Structure 1
């Protein structure tokens, strides 16, 4: 291997959360790494403590259950988005795919639970696959491709529902409805499904060859290609995963609401991106971890819940606070990244 190839291989080496610091790493380097990886978790703990001391109703069972359920659907979408962003990409179509998946699941529920689950997975997964093919094979910008998919999915949704005038309902007596409204050990079934998906996602990203390729492509695409990584297949894979996650989240949401609501999903792509970035995944790619995205989702939901608890603030402040918080996180990530390189 030449010196150039050796350098390229080093740049393509995954920079995941489990990567150990060099033996000679300084204390400042280790602190910067810990802050970048676990800052969101520390912030979440502080926010929960402050909220519980400020509002008597924050730690009640009903409030925690509502937060957990509302977090579950966004978390599934953020799971798929994590894979995309680690490769250095972006997926703006997930909000529309979430809504489309819900409508398709509600319509398909009349033919049984299998159809209600497989139909949104097939359609949304196919749209994600097309996104990946256009981005990887045609070398089109992810922003443009997924923006077009967002508009196309929303148009398909409107066509299926007669411009939104038709709402498909789910029979509450079906097993499909149980997936959304049922409980296991006092916790909603969607929460258990979400936790299982995150465990599986963490294993795939950290313990499989595909996960290593995801980090390598995000770290340095050209160097990853020199190492023999299947760059195109990896990109196609992550966008397909993102589409599948969005479709599944929409199906679970339809089971919870026992209807396919057409107006849902607007702006959800931005929430998912915010949660992933707040959780420590770099927008530039090559660094990130699944658990951080879950923490990011929970932190956003806690902030929204606190604003609702205050009562005197308009709901629009949720977006203001979330946007400001995201800006602070991105600035902090950039500063920490530069500090680690300097040190």
Structure 2
């Protein structure tokens, strides 16, 4: 009887046992670092140059004014970062910022809770509607948020009698303290903004929702195939954007102790500029929360330097900011193509 010879079974190879391809080249690493940290390097150079050129740049009052004024734009840019990473855009944040400020000033007469919750509820609801129309009805984000921008501005004019009525905040109220109070010599809005950015960074980098945000921005069809809730993610990011704009407006009203109706015009463009300058791609799928904060600070430093010069009109701020944004987008496009070629 001839016995069968059983061959010795070979152990199954695990994926991690397979040889991996070569790591990123030096050129790829340099391109990635430039894309991620270029704005920070530029900010450091700009601060050093400004401090050497102007004696008043590094004074306590000037730094405090820049920090507080940056805080409101930074909160708006925080929400915009989530939107742009998904490949969307939100043009309504400037109007929501102004609307949130007026609603907060009006609601402050009924207490701090109303002053904060009212703008959050209204602006968050508008953001939710934007998200539903974009995600569920598949309408273009540009058109939907443009309509929301006009609608929010119309609501603002309606409740302020075409801008002729200005609601004031009691200077002795706790709500005013949120805007004008200080902790360790730093304005309360700055601390609130830093806390929001830390929370936003944790959500974007460490949560499943953050993974969905990047996945939707990278390739929406692929994200849907791997089980990501594409529509829900889009609705959420536009809601976050609306909430951030409303909160920024409320904090600004507390700082100014009034709801100024003319604010927020063009703020959506500033927020988009800050996010893109900070390294987030307009095409989606790539971006950083910290980069958006650096982008805001860089814009404010440029504006402050122009004010320090004194002989230049404020219109030059827009010219310089626009030119700088164009250079950043060109650099991002070039770096992205270089990384793909390499």
TM-score bracket, shorter-length normalisation: over 0.9
Q: CA–CA distance in 1 between the matches of 2:4 and 2:217?
A: 16
The alpha-carbon deviation at position 266 of structure 1 amounts to 0.1
Rg larger in structure: 2
Q: TM-score, normalised by structure 1?
A: 0.94
Pair 303,21 (structure 1): closer, same or farther in 2 beyond 3 Å: farther
- Deviations 1:142-179 (Å, cap 9, x if unpaired)? 00000000000000000000100110000001000000
Q: Displacement, 1:10?
A: 37
Instruction: From the superposition, tell whether residues 43 and 18 of structure 1 become closer, same or farther in structure 2 (CA, over 3 Å).
Output: farther
What is the deviation of 1:89?
0.1
Q: Tell me how far apart the structure 1 counterparts of residues 318 and 138 of structure 2 sit (CA, whole Å).
A: 33
1:328 to 1:8, Cα distance in 2 relative to 1, 3 A:
farther
Partner of 2:35: 36
* CA deviation map 1:240-270 (0-9, x unaligned): 0000000000000000000000000000000
Structure 1 residue runs of 5 or longer lacking an equivalent are 1-5
Structure 2 gaps of 5+ residues are: none
Measured after TM superposition, the shift of residue 280 of structure 1 is 0.1
Moved over 2 A (4+): 6-22
Please state if 1:56 is matched with 2:31: no
Residues 14 and 219, structure 1, Cα contact 8 Å, conserved in 2: no
CA–CA separation in structure 2 for the residues paired with 1:114 and 1:9 = 78
Q: Could you tell me how far 1:17 is from its partner in structure 2? A: 28
The answer to whether the 8 Å contact 1:17/1:288 transfers is no
1:100 is paired with a residue whose SS is: helix
Change (3 A) 1:7 1:249: farther
After superposition, residues 169-184 of structure 1 pair within 5 angstroms as: 169-184=168-183
Aligned residue pairs total 337
Q: Specify the alignment match of 1:15 in structure 2.
A: 12
Change in Cα spacing, 1:8 to 1:319, as seen in structure 2 (3 Å) is: farther
Residue 15 of structure 1 deviates from its aligned partner by 31
Q: Residue in 1 aligned with 2:283?
A: 284
Match of 1:124 in 2: 123
Question: Kindly tell me: are residues 107 and 10 of structure 1, through their superposed partners in 2, closer, same or farther at Cα, counting changes over 3 Å?
Answer: farther
Deviation digits for residues 312-335 of structure 1 (CA, Å, limit 9, x no counterpart): 000000000000000000000000
Q: Give per-residue Cα distances to partners, 1:171-223, cap 9 Å, x unaligned.
A: 00100000000000000000000000000000000000000000000000000
CA change 1:41–1:20 in 2 (3 A) is farther
- Going from structure 1 to structure 2, the CA distance change for 1:17 and 1:102 (only over 3 Å counts) comes to farther
Matches of 1:229 and 1:16, distance apart in 2: 29
Contact 1:103–1:262 (CA under 8 A) maintained in structure 2: yes
Paired with 2:5 and 2:87, the residues of 1 have a C-alpha distance of 17
- What is aligned with 2:98? 99
1:313 match: 312
SS in 1 for 2:17: coil
Check 1:157–1:310 CA distance in 2 against 1; reply closer, same or farther (3 A cut). same
- Give me the whole-angstrom Cα distance separating, in 1, the residues matched to 2:10 and 2:232: 18
RMSD: 7.1
When residues 14 and 261 of structure 1 are mapped into structure 2, their CA distance, relative to the original with a 3 A threshold, is farther
